Amino acid sequence: MRRLISTLLTLLTATAVVTVGAGTANAEARTPVVFVHGYNSSGSTWNSAKAVFRTAGYTDAELFAFTYSYNQSNATSAANLATYVTQVRNQTGAAKVDVVNHSMGGLVSRWYVKQLGGTAYVNHWASLAGANHGTTIASLCSAYPSCQQMTPGSSFLSTLNSGDETPGTVKYRTWYSSCDGVINPYTSTALTGATNTLTSCTSHGAFLTSSTILNQVVSFLGS
Protein backbone atom coordinates (compact mmCIF):
# COMPACT_ATOMS: atom_id res chain seq x y z
CA MET A 1 0.00 0.00 0.00
CA ARG A 2 2.81 2.42 0.89
CA ARG A 3 4.52 1.63 -2.40
CA LEU A 4 1.27 2.35 -4.29
CA ILE A 5 0.79 5.67 -2.50
CA SER A 6 4.40 6.62 -3.22
CA THR A 7 3.97 5.80 -6.91
CA LEU A 8 0.79 7.86 -7.13
CA LEU A 9 2.47 10.84 -5.48
CA THR A 10 5.36 10.62 -7.93
CA LEU A 11 2.97 10.60 -10.90
CA LEU A 12 0.98 13.53 -9.52
CA THR A 13 4.16 15.55 -8.99
CA ALA A 14 5.37 14.83 -12.53
CA THR A 15 1.97 15.83 -13.95
CA ALA A 16 2.09 19.09 -12.00
CA VAL A 17 5.53 19.88 -13.38
CA VAL A 18 4.40 19.24 -16.96
CA THR A 19 1.31 21.39 -16.47
CA VAL A 20 3.28 24.29 -15.03
CA GLY A 21 5.87 24.00 -17.80
CA ALA A 22 3.20 24.11 -20.49
CA GLY A 23 1.62 27.16 -18.88
CA THR A 24 4.96 28.94 -18.77
CA ALA A 25 5.63 28.21 -22.42
CA ASN A 26 2.24 29.63 -23.42
CA ALA A 27 2.82 32.70 -21.26
CA GLU A 28 6.11 33.39 -23.06
CA ALA A 29 4.70 33.02 -26.56
CA ARG A 30 5.20 36.24 -28.53
CA THR A 31 3.19 37.79 -31.31
CA PRO A 32 4.96 37.16 -34.65
CA VAL A 33 6.79 40.18 -36.04
CA VAL A 34 6.56 41.13 -39.71
CA PHE A 35 9.31 43.51 -40.87
CA VAL A 36 8.59 45.72 -43.90
CA HIS A 37 11.58 47.33 -45.64
CA GLY A 38 11.77 50.61 -47.55
CA TYR A 39 12.66 51.75 -51.06
CA ASN A 40 15.66 50.16 -52.82
CA SER A 41 15.93 47.49 -50.15
CA SER A 42 14.87 43.94 -49.27
CA GLY A 43 14.03 41.72 -46.32
CA SER A 44 17.73 41.22 -45.59
CA THR A 45 17.98 44.81 -44.38
CA TRP A 46 16.45 43.59 -41.11
CA ASN A 47 19.26 41.15 -40.22
CA SER A 48 20.71 43.43 -37.54
CA ALA A 49 17.26 44.09 -36.11
CA LYS A 50 16.53 40.38 -35.97
CA ALA A 51 19.71 39.85 -33.94
CA VAL A 52 18.52 42.42 -31.38
CA PHE A 53 15.11 40.73 -31.23
CA ARG A 54 16.72 37.32 -30.70
CA THR A 55 18.78 38.70 -27.84
CA ALA A 56 15.51 39.93 -26.35
CA GLY A 57 14.11 36.40 -26.47
CA TYR A 58 12.43 36.11 -29.85
CA THR A 59 13.00 32.98 -31.93
CA ASP A 60 13.47 32.74 -35.69
CA ALA A 61 10.01 31.19 -35.87
CA GLU A 62 8.58 34.50 -34.62
CA LEU A 63 10.48 36.84 -36.99
CA PHE A 64 9.43 37.35 -40.62
CA ALA A 65 10.86 39.74 -43.22
CA PHE A 66 8.49 40.66 -46.03
CA THR A 67 10.10 41.48 -49.37
CA TYR A 68 8.32 43.33 -52.16
CA SER A 69 9.17 45.06 -55.44
CA TYR A 70 9.82 48.62 -54.32
CA ASN A 71 9.33 50.01 -57.84
CA GLN A 72 5.67 49.01 -58.10
CA SER A 73 2.67 50.79 -56.61
CA ASN A 74 2.65 50.84 -52.81
CA ALA A 75 -0.98 49.75 -52.98
CA THR A 76 0.08 46.62 -54.88
CA SER A 77 2.81 45.96 -52.32
CA ALA A 78 0.23 46.41 -49.55
CA ALA A 79 -1.98 43.76 -51.15
CA ASN A 80 1.03 41.44 -51.26
CA LEU A 81 1.67 42.21 -47.61
CA ALA A 82 -1.91 41.24 -46.78
CA THR A 83 -1.31 37.84 -48.36
CA TYR A 84 1.99 37.48 -46.51
CA VAL A 85 0.41 38.31 -43.13
CA THR A 86 -2.22 35.65 -43.75
CA GLN A 87 0.54 33.15 -44.48
CA VAL A 88 2.37 34.09 -41.26
CA ARG A 89 -0.81 33.75 -39.23
CA ASN A 90 -1.57 30.37 -40.74
CA GLN A 91 2.00 29.16 -40.16
CA THR A 92 2.20 30.34 -36.55
CA GLY A 93 -1.42 29.98 -35.50
CA ALA A 94 -1.37 33.58 -34.25
CA ALA A 95 -4.50 35.70 -34.52
CA LYS A 96 -2.47 38.88 -35.07
CA VAL A 97 1.02 40.06 -35.98
CA ASP A 98 3.16 43.04 -35.02
CA VAL A 99 4.45 45.16 -37.91
CA VAL A 100 7.81 46.95 -37.85
CA ASN A 101 8.55 49.13 -40.88
CA HIS A 102 11.24 51.45 -42.21
CA SER A 103 11.00 54.39 -44.61
CA MET A 104 8.61 53.64 -47.52
CA GLY A 105 7.57 50.51 -45.65
CA GLY A 106 5.47 52.86 -43.57
CA LEU A 107 3.30 53.60 -46.61
CA VAL A 108 3.02 49.95 -47.65
CA SER A 109 2.08 48.72 -44.17
CA ARG A 110 -0.27 51.63 -43.40
CA TRP A 111 -2.16 51.09 -46.66
CA TYR A 112 -2.60 47.46 -45.64
CA VAL A 113 -3.77 48.41 -42.16
CA LYS A 114 -6.08 51.26 -43.16
CA GLN A 115 -7.33 50.35 -46.63
CA LEU A 116 -7.20 46.54 -46.72
CA GLY A 117 -8.64 45.54 -43.34
CA GLY A 118 -5.32 45.05 -41.58
CA THR A 119 -6.62 46.59 -38.36
CA ALA A 120 -8.17 43.19 -37.60
CA TYR A 121 -4.83 41.40 -37.85
CA VAL A 122 -2.22 43.84 -36.51
CA ASN A 123 -1.56 44.34 -32.82
CA HIS A 124 1.34 46.83 -32.82
CA TRP A 125 2.59 49.02 -35.67
CA ALA A 126 6.09 50.49 -35.28
CA SER A 127 7.48 52.95 -37.83
CA LEU A 128 11.21 53.71 -38.04
CA ALA A 129 11.87 56.87 -40.08
CA GLY A 130 8.66 56.21 -41.97
CA ALA A 131 7.73 58.30 -44.99
CA ASN A 132 4.24 58.58 -43.57
CA HIS A 133 3.51 62.02 -45.01
CA GLY A 134 5.99 61.71 -47.86
CA THR A 135 9.44 63.10 -48.51
CA THR A 136 10.66 65.66 -51.03
CA ILE A 137 13.60 63.40 -51.90
CA ALA A 138 11.13 61.08 -53.66
CA SER A 139 11.45 63.38 -56.66
CA LEU A 140 14.80 61.71 -57.35
CA CYS A 141 13.08 58.44 -58.24
CA SER A 142 9.80 59.79 -59.56
CA ALA A 143 9.95 57.50 -62.62
CA TYR A 144 8.57 54.75 -60.39
CA PRO A 145 4.99 54.56 -59.07
CA SER A 146 6.09 54.02 -55.48
CA CYS A 147 8.14 57.22 -55.46
CA GLN A 148 5.40 59.20 -57.15
CA GLN A 149 3.12 58.10 -54.33
CA MET A 150 5.76 58.99 -51.74
CA THR A 151 5.94 62.59 -52.96
CA PRO A 152 4.25 65.06 -50.56
CA GLY A 153 0.81 65.99 -51.82
CA SER A 154 0.31 62.86 -53.94
CA SER A 155 -3.20 61.43 -54.26
CA PHE A 156 -1.93 58.26 -52.58
CA LEU A 157 -0.85 60.19 -49.48
CA SER A 158 -4.01 62.28 -49.50
CA THR A 159 -6.09 59.10 -49.36
CA LEU A 160 -3.86 57.44 -46.79
CA ASN A 161 -3.79 60.42 -44.43
CA SER A 162 -7.39 61.55 -44.74
CA GLY A 163 -9.50 61.08 -41.66
CA ASP A 164 -8.07 58.89 -38.90
CA GLU A 165 -4.32 58.38 -39.35
CA THR A 166 -4.21 55.62 -36.74
CA PRO A 167 -7.41 53.60 -37.13
CA GLY A 168 -8.68 50.63 -35.16
CA THR A 169 -7.38 49.18 -31.92
CA VAL A 170 -3.84 48.88 -33.29
CA LYS A 171 -1.15 50.44 -31.09
CA TYR A 172 0.93 52.89 -33.14
CA ARG A 173 4.38 54.32 -32.42
CA THR A 174 6.89 56.17 -34.60
CA TRP A 175 10.57 57.03 -34.27
CA TYR A 176 12.11 59.96 -36.17
CA SER A 177 15.21 62.18 -36.10
CA SER A 178 16.23 65.64 -37.27
CA CYS A 179 19.41 63.99 -38.63
CA ASP A 180 17.49 61.57 -40.86
CA GLY A 181 18.69 63.06 -44.14
CA VAL A 182 16.21 61.13 -46.31
CA ILE A 183 12.78 61.86 -44.86
CA ASN A 184 12.26 65.56 -45.59
CA PRO A 185 10.80 67.12 -43.59
CA TYR A 186 11.83 64.67 -40.87
CA THR A 187 8.59 65.35 -39.00
CA SER A 188 6.79 63.57 -41.86
CA THR A 189 7.08 60.35 -39.87
CA ALA A 190 4.86 61.47 -36.98
CA LEU A 191 1.20 60.46 -37.03
CA THR A 192 -1.79 61.91 -35.23
CA GLY A 193 -2.90 59.38 -32.62
CA ALA A 194 0.45 57.60 -32.41
CA THR A 195 3.16 57.79 -29.77
CA ASN A 196 5.74 59.82 -31.70
CA THR A 197 9.33 59.53 -30.49
CA LEU A 198 11.96 62.09 -31.49
CA THR A 199 15.30 60.31 -31.17
CA SER A 200 18.81 61.66 -30.77
CA CYS A 201 20.71 62.40 -34.00
CA THR A 202 20.18 59.27 -36.12
CA SER A 203 20.73 58.91 -39.85
CA HIS A 204 18.09 57.22 -42.00
CA GLY A 205 19.92 53.92 -42.34
CA ALA A 206 21.05 53.87 -38.71
CA PHE A 207 17.48 53.27 -37.55
CA LEU A 208 17.97 49.72 -38.79
CA THR A 209 21.00 49.05 -36.60
CA SER A 210 20.56 51.23 -33.50
CA SER A 211 20.30 48.84 -30.56
CA THR A 212 18.84 51.67 -28.45
CA ILE A 213 15.96 52.29 -30.85
CA LEU A 214 15.43 48.62 -31.67
CA ASN A 215 15.22 47.73 -27.99
CA GLN A 216 12.63 50.46 -27.59
CA VAL A 217 10.69 48.79 -30.39
CA VAL A 218 10.93 45.45 -28.60
CA SER A 219 9.58 47.05 -25.42
CA PHE A 220 6.76 48.68 -27.36
CA LEU A 221 5.73 45.38 -28.92
CA GLY A 222 5.58 43.89 -25.44
CA SER A 223 3.25 46.58 -24.12
All structural domains of the chain: 30-221 (3.40.50.1820)
Mean pLDDT (whole number) for 157-163: 97
Angle, CA 169 vertex, CA 121 and CA 109 arms, to 5°: 50
Mean pLDDT (whole number) for 27-56: 94
- Residues 82-92: pLDDT tens digits? 999 999 999 99
pLDDT tops 60 at residue 169:
yes
pLDDT tops 50 at residue 11:
no
Distance, first Cα to last Cα, the chain: 53
Whole-number mean pLDDT of the chain?
90
Distances (CA, A) of 215 to 38, 42, 52, 203, 221: 20, 22, 7, 17, 10
What is the Cα 199 distance to its own chain's centre?
18
Which helix (H) or strand (E) is 67 found in, with range? Answer: none
- Residues 107-157: pLDDT tens digits? 999 999 999 999 999 999 999 999 999 999 999 999 999 999 999 999 999
Q: Supply the pLDDT for residue 188.
A: 98
